[in-house]
Amino acid sequence: QQQVKQSPQSLIVQKGGISIINCAYENTAFDYFPWYQQFPGKGPALLIAIRPDVSEKKEGRFTISFNKSAKQFSLHIMDSQPGDSATYFCAASETSGSRLTFGEGTQLTVNP
Amino acid sequence: GAVVSQHPSWVICKSGTSVKIECRSLDFQATTMFWYRQFPKQSLMLMATSNEGSKATYEQGVEKDKFLINHASLTLSTLTVTSAHPEDSSFYICTGERNTEAFFGQGTRLTVV
């Protein structure tokens, strides 16, 4: 599997702040880039996903920015809340929904 | 969203025994399911692709004789960890695909003692 690199490994933000997590990929055949949220002991849940034909996608407080030429994409969480405290994974696949390659994960802590 | 259910949620077994984990798509048919493994505080690694009615496809480095996958129906895939050892202790997660989106099961925590 091609690698997807994610940073930072951990992130602490204050309530109301912006959380930013970055990912970079190598495989130019990837055409589906989802972000997942995982709480301890639970399976990942899809937050938001993007395809390379757009540079940005926003859903509520969550925004993906995508830079195809740089092979990078990022997740922005606006107005971060303590309930957003979880582990976030970026992922990529050549066909949406299948054979996902995950980043290393980011442990987000939002302080009250 | 679609529902994928795993059973059991957690299991403890003795070294040398086998454990079966079930992954069911409750409200859709999944011709393909995927099995991932996640060690504590690490990422998810794809183990194998489960294909209904045919042999599973294993990722490099995954022992097919140790991790037996059966996908006998459009709603059920099973993963059997054979001759389990403590190093097999992990969080096992399956996904089913519907309308190009992957839906994750809640995961199974396996502890081998």
pLDDT mean over B16-28? 95
Mean pLDDT score, A98-103: 89
Specify the pLDDT at position B67: 97
CB-closest option in A43, A49, A95 to B105:
A43
Mean pLDDT, range A1-29, rounded to an integer: 93
A98–B97 CB contact, under 8 Å? yes
C-alpha to C-alpha distance for B20 and A23, rounded to whole angstroms? 35
pLDDT of residue A97: 62
CB contact under 8 A, A97 and B45: no
Using CA of residue B67, residue B111, residue B109, residue B23, what is the dihedral sign?
A: positive
The Cα B94–Cα B24 span in angstroms is: 9
CA distance A82 to A75: 17
Does position A1 have pLDDT exceeding 70, yes or no?
Answer: no
Query: Is A76:A19 a contact under the CB 8 Å cutoff?
Result: yes
User: Over 70: is that where the pLDDT of B100 sits?
Assistant: yes
- Lowest-confidence region among A74-83, A88-97, B51-60, B79-88: A88-97
Contact list, B34 vs chain A (CB under 8 Å)? 98-100
